[in-house]
């Protein structure tokens, strides 16, 4: 029963968001057209609901050939592939806003696990691959909140970035998304949306664990 209702609100709020955010989209589009490699949108295949591939849409923040440069699908702090304007868009999360179009057409939801590239998805265990996208990927999610500092973790780790992501970050992200599926309801989704905004202004807050005391605890 919850999924059809959630889809209704996804359509309603994505339409409203596109209208409200249009004045913000226009200057961002013009700035991107005039800077970097003059690319406005970034399109890429991602793994979605029931492991089906879809085309994600973001504002461009990295060099066009970035998937074939540096660390590939893993981004570290001060990654040289990120453009100057892209850095600001990523820090403010404004680069994610075009995904509202993905929500409107049904590829994504406002809340859910972040959609990975196939190469990143393949780092999950076979058992986790069968579970992780039993709900639609989201613009934000519990993993997005607890891993706002993912680039810093990768940069400071003694492990190579890909090993750190595979062996430390990904197993915990998987546990978080299983928790989300077990607790998915209107309250959980609303509070995840609220906390996403909260952590933009208070990135070091521990509020998420007060709101969701049953969350798996991060030890790194």
Do residues 83 and 63 make contact, with C-beta atoms less than 8 angstroms apart?
Answer: yes
Instruction: For 86-102, write each residue's pLDDT tens digit.
Output: 899 988 889 999 999 99
Which stretch of DSSP H or E encloses residue 53?
A: strand 53-59
- Residue 105, pLDDT score: 97
Spatial distance between the Cα atoms of 179 and 57, rounded to a whole number of angstroms = 27
- Residue 77, pLDDT score: 67
Spatial distance between the Cα atoms of 157 and 52, rounded to a whole number of angstroms = 32
Question: Does 146 reside within a domain?
Answer: yes
Spatial distance between the Cα atoms of 120 and 123, rounded to a whole number of angstroms = 5
Question: Does 46 reside within a domain?
Answer: yes
- Residue 71, pLDDT score: 67
pTM value > 0.85: yes
Question: Does 220 reside within a domain?
Answer: no
Please classify residue 157 by burial: count the beta carbons closer than 10 Å to its beta carbon, then call 0-12 exposed, 13-18 middle and 19+ buried.
middle
| Residues in the chain where the model's pLDDT stays below 70 | 68, 70-72, 76-77
Spatial distance between the Cα atoms of 116 and 144, rounded to a whole number of angstroms = 12
Question: Does 47 reside within a domain?
Answer: yes
What residues pair up with 82 in beta bridges, in sequence order?
62
Question: Does 184 reside within a domain?
Answer: yes
Give the domain extent around 87.
2-211
Give CA torsion, residues 98, 100, 105, 107, to 10 deg: 90
Question: Does 219 reside within a domain?
Answer: no
Q: How many domains does the chain have?
A: 1
What tokens does 56 get?
Answer: 């994600």
Question: Does 36 reside within a domain?
Answer: yes
Task: Annotate 34-50 with b (16+ C-beta within 10 A) or e (fewer).
Answer: eebeebeebeeebbbbe
CA distances from 2 to 92, 142, 200 (A): 31, 18, 28
Closest residue by Cα to residue 48 from 140, 135, 166? 135
Question: Does 217 reside within a domain?
Answer: no
Do residues 98 and 50 make contact, with C-beta atoms less than 8 angstroms apart?
Answer: no
Upper half-sphere CA count for residue 140 (Cβ side, 13 Å)? 20
């Amino acid at each position: 029963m919850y999924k059809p209702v959630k889809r209704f609100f996804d359509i309603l709020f994505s339409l409203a968001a596109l209208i409200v955010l249009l004045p913000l989209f226009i200057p961002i589009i013009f700035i991107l057209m005039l800077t970097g490699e003059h690319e406005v949108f970034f399109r890429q295949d991602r793994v979605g609901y029931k492991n089906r591939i879809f085309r994600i849409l973001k504002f461009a923040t990295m060099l066009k050939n970035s998937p074939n440069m540096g660390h590939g699908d893993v981004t570290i702090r001060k990654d040289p592939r990120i453009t100057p304007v892209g850095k600001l868009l990523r820090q403010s999360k404004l680069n994610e806003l075009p995904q509202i179009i993905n929500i409107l057409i049904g590829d994504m939801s406002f809340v859910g696990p972040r959609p990975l590239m196939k190469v990143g998805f393949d780092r999950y265990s076979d058992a986790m691959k069968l579970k992780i996208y039993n709900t639609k990927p989201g613009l934000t999610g519990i993993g997005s909140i607890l891993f706002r500092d993912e680039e810093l973790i990768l940069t400071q780790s003694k492990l190579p970035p890909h090993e750190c992501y595979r062996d430390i970050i990904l197993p915990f992200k998987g546990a978080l998304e299983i928790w989300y599926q077990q607790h998915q309801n209107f309250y959980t989704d609303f509070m995840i949306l609220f906390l996403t905004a909260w952590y933009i202004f208070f990135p070091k807050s521990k509020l998420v664990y007060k709101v969701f005391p049953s969350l798996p605890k991060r030890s790194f």
